[in-house]
Amino acid sequence: MTAQHVVGMVGVGNMGGRMARRLTEAGYDVRAVDADPAKIPASGAKPAASLAELAADCDVIMLSLPDSLVIESVIRGPGGLLGHARDGQIIVDLSTANPASTRALHDELAARGVRFLDAGISGGAAAADKGTLTLMVGGDAAALEKVRPLLAAFSAHVHHMGASGAGHVTKVLNNFLNGVTLAATAEVMVAGKKAGLDLAQLLEVINSSSGVSFASLNRFPRIIRGDYLEGGLTGQLMAKDVRLYLSLAEDLGVPTLVGPGTLTAFQVSNALGYGDVISNRVVDAYGDLAGGVRVADDDD
């Protein structure tokens, strides 16, 4: 097997594992490292003994990690990718990260001849399984062209957004809107329930009217039937993403009036015990605060 068909993956959790599986199904030899090695077999990847081994075996390495602190430790830490990088390697960061950190890592890796692409992803677990994710990429355009065949294994839309950091900026903006509409629609569903409305009919109205959103179209028709779509972005990670937006807005000098309220919604939800489950459970947090309302009854 040629080197270009050997791909490294750091992080095979909820999303990284799905992308690794799509790559193996496409015929690539995927070598993986994860903080929990027990997750690797389900991804279809072969375990690598260390980051150093991954760097030695793979010309392309992908990261799917929870935040910039973890990404920085994987790259800069003892035994990390920076210390074992080779001229000509490409690292593709598929995480949601702080764009300022991304740009700093890009410059450090560039000094070693490594091209670092920040590639935010959107579409969730279902799109990862189907290979229809949307990617928003920052960094060197020529490097992106080299890895497009790999990205095609799990994505249907790849957008080059500009220089280093542009992909993660785009991801932060998108995820903020995701959080806003999820929290707002959750609040409306609880209000509709307390008002005695038929929620399926309410959603039909919203989805043919000006209040329509991804949450109302794709999430709540299932949530009101008791299917919370478990396995997606957790409440803790959603709060992290909203905080990234608030930091970005401050750096850009952009006022944000909606941001603090959205962050509060997920922080309160997490404090009520929903932090480690899918962020869609914010609707139950609203229900708790409204006196124990559930938009999906046991008999729904």
Q: Could you give the residue numbers annotated as active site?
A: 171
Q: Label the pairing between strands 115-122 and 90-93.
A: parallel
**Residue showing tokens 């992106």:** 144
Q: Are 275 and 289 in contact (CB under 8 A)?
A: no
CB environment 270-287: b (16+ within 10 A), e (fewer) = bebebbebbbbbbbbbbb
Residues 6+ apart with CB under 8 A from 18: 43, 125, 128, 129, 154
Q: Report how far apart the first and last C-alpha atoms of the chain are (Å, whole number).
A: 52
Q: Is 83 exposed, middle or buried (0-12, 13-18, 19+ CB in 10 A)?
A: middle
Among residues 263, 22, 298, 268, the alpha carbon closest in space to that of 7 is found at: 22
149 phi and psi angles, rounded to 5 deg: -60, -35
Residue 68 to residues 187, 224, 255, 263, 269, Cα–Cα distance (Å)? 31, 35, 24, 19, 23
- DSSP 8-state code for residue 3: G
Q: Are 122 and 174 in contact (CB under 8 A)?
A: yes
**Residue showing tokens 């594992």:** 17
The rounded distance, in Å, linking the Cα atoms of 141 and 121 is 17
DSSP E strand boundaries for 34-154: 46-47, 60-63, 90-93, 115-122, 133-138
